[in-house]
Copies of this chain bind each other. A is one copy, B any other.
Amino acid sequence: MSAAFSPLPEASTADLVAQRLRDAILDGSLRPGDRLVEHDLAARFQVSRGPVREAIRLLVPDGLVVLRRNRGAIVASPTFDDVLEVYAVRMSLGSLALAQAVYVDAAAHPEFGGVLILLQRLSDPEVQADALLMMEADLLFQDALLATSGLPRITSMLDQSARDVAFFVRMLGITYDSSDHTDLIRRHERVINAVRECDPEAATEAWQAHIRHTVGEFARRYPDADIKGVFSHPLTEQLFDGPIGED
């Protein structure tokens, strides 16, 4: 039973349009606040307004666009508060997933090999050269690891939060350029090893440390001066109850 016999994606027109729009938003072709006019998009994609309309609505739960009654859709404008909140969710639900992963013996999970492959990808110099590629590979690995928990709902929420992170990072112009890639990998290995050794406390601990580190990196690199105001946000204290940016 090879993985070549996958479930056949075969997306609908609306899905295809939604994916195009996603790409356009994420690569900067569409900027926050830009209007999404159904008629214009339909003309561009050479389809009718129906699928375009449906595609736009598909992006709403993803947090990519905001819908205003009778006034069309615009590309969402995330703030740094959103970043903090998403990372808080990620820390919280991720801990849950990892604790569960340990219980179900994730190391014996059929897809655990794939997780290790994704981790190796982070060592690829070609990947490391591109900051965006690196971020995607990183999030992909994290999601794969968390998915070994076998909790479909929580996994999908974590996947969504990863997409949120990717979106925010691009939109806010945050450089996800870790100063030391081997450090990132070391933190990931710490999590994986804890899962392998069936030590839930160590796994969640390592995971939370990783999130704190990542948020700390963001905090240091965030170019906007408003960051001072944002960082008086109480949630920040929860994410930073260790020294900022340290492990």
Contact = CB atoms under 8 A, between A and B. Distances in A.
A85 B235 contact: no
Interface of A, helix, strand, loop or mixed by DSSP: helix
Q: Closest 9 CB pairs between A and B? A: A103-B234, A61-B61, A85-B153, A92-B92, A92-B96, A85-B151, A100-B235, A104-B234, A88-B96
A46 interface: no
Given A54-B57, A85-B152, A85-B153, 18 more contacts: A10-B69, A54-B54, A88-B151, A88-B154, A89-B96, A89-B153, A89-B154, A92-B92, A92-B93, A92-B96, A93-B93, A100-B235, A100-B238, A103-B234, A103-B237, A103-B238, A104-B234, A151-B235
B100 A234 contact: yes
Count identical subunits in the complex.
2
Interface of A: 10, 12, 50, 53-54, 57-58, 61, 69, 82, 85-86, 88-89, 92-93, 95-96, 99-100, 103-104, 151-154, 157, 234-235, 237-238
A234 B104 CA distance: 7
Contacts of A57: 54, 57-58
14 contacts: A10-B69, A57-B57, A61-B61, A82-B153, A85-B153, A85-B154, A88-B154, A89-B96, A92-B93, A93-B93, A96-B238, A100-B234, A100-B235, A157-B157
